[in-house]
Structure 1
Amino acid sequence: MLSQKAKYALKAMIALATQEEGDLLQAADIAERQNVPRKFLELILLDLRKHGLVRSQRGKFGGYALAKPADAITFGQVIRIMDGPLAPIPCASLTGYRRCADCRDEKSCAVRRTMREVRDAAAAILDGTTIADALGAGAHEARAAIGA
C-alpha cells in the first residue's frame, strides 16, 4: 500500500511541475494548496532534494523547483525514495531482495512467483508514468486548481 508520505511526495512533485520554468514554490504554499502538513512536507522535500529530484533556494524569494524535467521523473522513482522497494514481499524485490527464512525452494515458491508478477506489473505502470504524464493535457487546469 502506498504510504501517506509517498502520496504527499507525489502531490508535491505534481504541484512543482505546474510551475513555470525558473519559478520557485515555497513549502508553505505547496502544503496549503495540496492539504499536506507543512512540517511533514518539509521532510519529504528534503528527501527529494537529497535524491536529486528537487532543488531549493533559501531566502525571502526562495522555494523549491523540480531539479529535472517533469517528463524525466517517474512515479516509481518517487515511491522508491519514500517507501523503498515496490515488491509486496522482500524475496520478490529487485532493489531490496531478502530471502525468506521459511522458504525451502525459492524457485518453486508460488507465493514468491505471484508476488513477483505483482511487483513487475506495478513497476511497469509506476516506472512508465512520469510526473508530466500525471498532468497530461490538463496542465493548465492543474495550475488553476492549485492556485498557481
Structure 2
Amino acid sequence: MKVKITALLMLASLCWTNAQKSQKEEINSVLDTWHLAAAQADFESYFGKMTKDGVFIGTDATENWQNEEFRSFSKPYFDRGKAWSFTAVERNIYINGQGDFAWFDELLDTQMKLCRGSGVLKKENGQWRIAHYVLSIAVPNENVTELIEIKKEKDSLLLLQLKER
C-alpha cells in the first residue's frame, strides 16, 4: 500500500511540475511576443496582450499609465512604424497554486541598454494577459551617486509637487 501511495504522489508531483513548465512556456511566449509586437509596431497585438485595466509603469517618475492612457501615449510611436525594442536576456517566472496568476522579472536588452522589467499576469478566459508592468533602467551601483547628481534638481521639484497634493 505504501508503495502505491508513494507512486501516486510521485506521479501527481510530476504532473504538477509539467503543468507549471507548460504554463511558464505560455507566459514566456506572451511576454516575448508582446515585446516583439512593440518592435514591429503592431499596436493591436501589443495591447491585446494586456488586460483592459492593465498598468504600465515607465522609467520616468511621472509614468504611471493606466491602459487607455498608455494606448493614447503609445499610439504615435506605433504609427511611426517602430515603438520600442526590448529583448529579454534573462527571465524568472512564478505562478500561484491555482495557476491563474503569475509574476515575473526580466533583464532586458533595450535602446536604453540594460533595463529591468517586472510585472503581473493573470489568466482571463484561458489566456495569459499582462495586468501590470514596471520598466526600470538598470544602474550599476558604482554609478548611483553620479545618477543622483544628474537627476537631483528635477526630482526635488517633482517631490515638492507630489507633497503638495
Indicate whether the TM-score tops 0.5: no
The TM-score with structure 1 as length reference comes to 0.25
The TM-score with structure 2 as length reference comes to 0.24
Larger of the two Rg values belongs to structure: 2
* Structure with higher RCO (Cα < 8 A, 6+ apart): 1
